Amino acid sequence: MLSDLIGKIEKARRYAAEPERIALDEITVHFNGSNNEHTIRLVQSRWACDCEVFHLRGVCAHVMTLQKVLAPMLSAEAREPGPIIIHSELISMIEKSRRYVHELDRIEIQALRARFHGTNNDHILALTETGWSCDCSTFRVWHTCAHVMALQRILAPMLPAIAREPGAVSVEEHLVSALS
Ligand SMILES: [Zn+2]
Ligand SMILES: [Zn+2]
């Protein structure tokens, strides 16, 4: 059983270098912007941000930043730039998002739903306020799996504390019950 888990950890390392296996269907992000806090959502390949610029223009530096950071996991539609806007505004948004890309601690992923194209099967993963879930059989036993571990590696700087937990607590519990 433990060697099985070690195998999964190896697999997760490999998967983490292949983010194109992951298709993000939904994500909710808390963004600590330069002046205000914002919530950004992706649902059915459409972005929305609660900032004023997005309301006016349908695009903003926050969405642009997430499009860059999450690019390999996004559908073609979700990667599309927003509506054409005034040149000078666009320049300032691009500049801001360029800076934000290097300040990932501004971003906290609060929830997501993704499909993972695994070696043998496809799986559905989710992150909610209670933590991760995956529909694979390894997750049912260990409360973690190669799919969750790979996403944890890829998204690490943007995850809240609960989502960074390695599932080690439940692994230890399993070890204790196996040994006693
Ligand atoms: Zn915004
Ligand atoms: Zn899994």
27-78 tens-digit pLDDT: 999 999 888 899 999 999 999 999 999 999 899 999 999 999 999 999 999 9
Q: Does the global pTM surpass 0.75?
A: yes
Residue 1 pLDDT: 64
> Ligand 2 centre from 162 Cα, in Å?
18
User: How many CA atoms are closer than 13 Å to the CA of 28, on its beta-carbon side?
Assistant: 8
> Ligand 2 centre from 150 Cα, in Å?
10
- Given pLDDT bands bounded at 50, 70 and 90, which one contains residue 139? very high
Residue-number span of the structural domain to which 62 is assigned:
1-180
> Ligand 1 centre from 173 Cα, in Å?
43
> Ligand 1 centre from 64 Cα, in Å?
9
Q: Indicate which ligand has the atom closest to the C-alpha of 51.
A: 1
* Higher per-residue pLDDT: 14 or 168: 14
Average pLDDT across the chain, whole number:
88
**CA distances to 83, 89, 99 from 86, in Å:** 10, 5, 21
- The total of structural domains in the chain comes to 1
> Ligand 1 centre from 153 Cα, in Å?
26
> Ligand 1 centre from 40 Cα, in Å?
7
Residues within 5 A (CB) of ion ligand 1: 49, 51, 54, 60, 62
Residue 25 pLDDT: 96
> Ligand 2 centre from 125 Cα, in Å?
7
Contact 73, 114 (CB under 8 A): yes
Residue 175 pLDDT: 54
